[in-house]
Chains A and B, each alone.
Chain A
Amino acid sequence: MTNSTFTRRGVLKTGAVTGAGLALPTIFTSSASAFTNEPTGNTVTFGFNVPQTGPYAEEGLDELRAQELAVEHINGIGDGGMLNTFTSKALDGTGILGKKVQFVTGDTQTKSDAARAAAKSMIEKDGVVMINGGSSSGVAVAVQSLCQEAGIIFMAGLTHSNDTTGKDRKANGFRHFFNAYMSGAALAPVLEKAYGTERRAYHLTADYTWGYTQQESIQSFTEALGWQTVNNVLTPVGAGDFSSYIAPVLNSGADVLILNHYGGDMVNSLTQAVQFGLRDKQVNGKNFEIVVPLYSELMAEGAGENIKGVFGSMNWNWQLQDAGTKAFVQSFGQKYGRPPSNSAHTCYVQTLLYADAVARAGSFNPCAVAEALEGFEFDGMGNGPTLYRAEDHQCFKDVLVMKGAENPTTPFDTLEVVEITPRAQVEYAPNHPMFGGDEASLGQCNSGA
């Protein structure tokens, strides 16, 4: 037999006191906070979620450099960079709404689950008011959805899939980077001019959301030129050796190979295609050509000489000559000794745009910030006059068509700007079928209140 000192009355009393004690902070916070992570002290925290390990770690590092620079400029440290050329003058270099900006970082590892875990930790433990960055569409879609649920703003980094602001668009998510549709719209006229209208294209496509939407976009625009699509082969992400996918290309009757690959996959598939001698061959009486619709500087550096003369597209490039670009390149170059990549640029701009929207809204409330960003027109950020469209939270601006440089003098000028495609040429309706059609909706803004 055992003796117990517990009594029914005692358990009830203890339970009531403990329950009240546990509920106390929640009662206070719920009445004090109007929205998720409302900053209360004299600082506000941003969360930079970028790949710090894994295959895109170099790109993530460059994004972090730019984000750190943006925070310095917002806080009035350094030369101010693009704040000097930005048409909105709501930021004065004293922080945002009297609060100094600080930041924490998370590691997406370029994996959706790891990225969500890192973002969740920053939101719940560090109290960040927004999440910025990333180098993958799969990650962007996953983190955007998390931010929507948590009631904070997501300023996407490098994400090029149509889905991010298409069928997966969210009221709390905003994308400055261009998308696959825009790549197709910008590239097609240049391809027509260079290679004519009677071409047969063979696509190798990364087997995930970004690959699908890019392939669909490029196929649509090249077929509109009169090109035929011979085949589209899905390739596993991180396949390494693409030879078994490349070898049948020449025998397929195709005279253009379109590589819907990014990062290490693009470096390997392009290098191997060149090794197979594709670019030295003649098919259908024409020179065989390769196209890489989405370029990045870091990728181009990895592919070396193999990209010479290969067309692609970019969101921005440091070689542009506008005042905003010059100010940013000067600022970034002085601090880090190298020019910024286009993923660094988009993360830098997104950080400034968020801060500016808060200043204009006069509040960190995500719904007020979203309202300030929706339909916002600005200039001086390196891409010419730009619109943050209210219907899908996609930025509309000029797009760059690039080509692998024939005689680069440094590792940084391996790509050259062929054409600045005007914004009007890459615009589309918010309910375009490639972007989820009429069913796509932002939903309601969530402030977490």
Chain B
Amino acid sequence: MDAILLQILNGLDKGSAYALIALGLTLIFGTLGVVNFAHGALFMIGAFCAVTMQRILGLSFSQVDPTKTDFLGNPLKVQVPYVESWFGPEVGGAIIDWSVPIAIVMAIPVMIALGFAMERGLIKHFYKRPHADQILVTFGLAIVLQEIVKYFFGANPIQTGAPDMFAGSFDFGVLMGFDPNVIIYPYWRMVYFLFALVIIGGVFAFLQFTTFGMVVRAGMADRETVGLLGIDIDRRFTIMFGLAAAVAGLAGVMYTPILSPNYHMGMDFLVLSFVVVVVGGMGSLPGAVLAGFLLGILQSFASMNEIKSIIPGIDQVIIYLIAIVILLTRPRGLMGRKGVMED
């Protein structure tokens, strides 16, 4: 029982990331009809917004420390961050410590701008082209984006920690009557899960309760009719692309303390997120979220020693096995709509 609860908790944060990426993918597919293989790269760029913010806040000047020497035997140049020199070591240190949450402020406009630029500059030229062309061009774009990031940040993972306040883990086991250390869950993963719920709730509320969202939903259902009513649906869809990019970016920013960012992290998530979209049902936003959490939790279960000892290697293929089963039994996915991707 305790092992099952533990793996459900573990699956929640992974599922949160899948759900957020799949949500953006579905928004883009549902509105613009584009299969966006660059969406994983947007998640990665979000993560590098956190790295950039960490570097901006950590900008330093050199101060020679005559008591120490560097590796060549010269007097050591100690780096003192400007924020520490301006606000004192305590406040300055706290600002640097909170660089990941602070990066959200930077990531939102950056990701929206990037989303607009991608959509207006490249993707709009592929609306009427076959899905294969869209996949190729967005996949190419993803490779270009990750190579640019590699050029500036290198290929090694970059440590981007959570604020010290969230270090350590919460002992759920004690709360539920189990022994100590049986069901532990890091604080930051709890933060990530709650953050994902807020973002998902916000996107659904935006689509459900605003006029803009209503028009977008109408456009997703029947783009032509909405256009005939004199509504500039293309402009709204461009905004939705920016919104989807921002969701992926925020998912990336907050994931950095869990997974040290590297330039190809987007690709790792992209393939799984596409499976999530297919399992959830192409074009279905609730389906994407449901499938994200479901597959995240099932992937955690498959990593249990008890299951791996029966079926070795199951943890690496479980998601694809589930996708096969779902597509055989429910070809449109869990919550797919009739007519989507069926022309």
CA distance A264 to B168 in the complex (A): 22
B13, B168, B260, B315: most-surrounded residue (chain A CB, <10 A): B260
B63 close to chain A: CB less than 8 A: no
B316 close to chain A: CB less than 8 A: yes
Closest chain B CB from A290 CB (angstroms): 15
Q: Which A residues from 300 to 337 make CB contacts under 8 A with B? A: 301-306, 318-319, 329-330, 333-334
Closest to B260 in A: A267
Q: Which B residues from 151 to 186 make CB contacts under 8 A with A? A: 154-159, 161-162, 167-169, 181-182, 184, 186
User: Knowing A55-B262, A251-B2 touch, does A277 contact B168 (C-beta < 8 A)?
Assistant: yes
User: Knowing A233-B305, A275-B188 touch, does A58 contact B156 (C-beta < 8 A)?
Assistant: yes
Residues of A within 8 A of B262 (CB): 55, 264
Closest to B259 in A: A240
Question: Which residue in B10, B167, B168, B260 is a CB contact (below 8 Å) of A268?
Answer: B260
Closest to A413 in B: B71
Closest chain A CB from B57 CB (angstroms): 16
Residues of B within 8 A of A329 (CB): 71-72
- A330 in contact with B184 (CB, 8 Å): no
Closest chain B CB from A107 CB (angstroms): 12
Q: Range of interface residues on chain B?
A: 35 or more
- A302 in contact with B71 (CB, 8 Å): no
- A277 in contact with B260 (CB, 8 Å): no
Interface string of A410-421 (1 = CB under 8 A from B): 101100000000
Question: Which residue in B6, B154, B268, B308 is a CB contact (below 8 Å) of A247?
Answer: B6
User: Knowing A247-B184, A283-B181 touch, does A271 contact B303 (C-beta < 8 A)?
Assistant: no
- A339 in contact with B308 (CB, 8 Å): no
B250 close to chain A: CB less than 8 A: no
- B71 in contact with A303 (CB, 8 Å): no
CA distance A298 to B154 in the complex (A): 11
User: Knowing A250-B181, A330-B72 touch, does A264 contact B186 (C-beta < 8 A)?
Assistant: no
User: Knowing A243-B13, A268-B259 touch, does A251 contact B169 (C-beta < 8 A)?
Assistant: no
Residues of B within 8 A of A58 (CB): 154-156
CA distance A320 to B105 in the complex (A): 45
Q: Range of interface residues on chain A?
A: 35 or more
Q: Which A residues from 266 to 289 make CB contacts under 8 A with B? A: 267-268, 271-272, 275-277, 280-281, 283
Closest to B154 in A: A58
B189 close to chain A: CB less than 8 A: yes
- B150 in contact with A57 (CB, 8 Å): yes
CA distance A246 to B231 in the complex (A): 52
- A318 in contact with B182 (CB, 8 Å): no
Closest to A280 in B: B168
- A238 in contact with B168 (CB, 8 Å): no
Question: Which residue in B150, B155, B169, B305 is a CB contact (below 8 Å) of A56?
Answer: B155
Question: Which residue in A56, A240, A251, A412 is a CB contact (below 8 Å) of B181?
Answer: A251
CA distance A8 to B132 in the complex (A): 51
- B155 in contact with A54 (CB, 8 Å): yes
**A residues in contact (CB < 8 Å) with B:** 53-58, 231, 233-234, 236, 238, 240-241, 243-245, 247-248, 250-251, 264, 267-268, 271-272, 275-277, 280-281, 283, 298-299, 301-306, 318-319, 329-330, 333-334, 338-339, 409-410, 412-413
**B residues in contact (CB < 8 Å) with A:** 2-3, 6-7, 9-11, 13-14, 68, 70-72, 76, 78, 150, 154-159, 161-162, 167-169, 181-182, 184, 186, 188-189, 257-260, 262, 264-265, 268, 299-300, 303-305, 308, 315-316
- Which 4 pairs from chain A and chain B are nearest by CB? A57-B155, A244-B303, A304-B159, A277-B169
| 12 A-B pairs whose Cβ atoms sit less than 8 Å apart in the complex | A53-B155, A241-B258, A243-B258, A244-B303, A244-B304, A247-B184, A251-B3, A281-B181, A303-B159, A318-B71, A333-B71, A409-B68
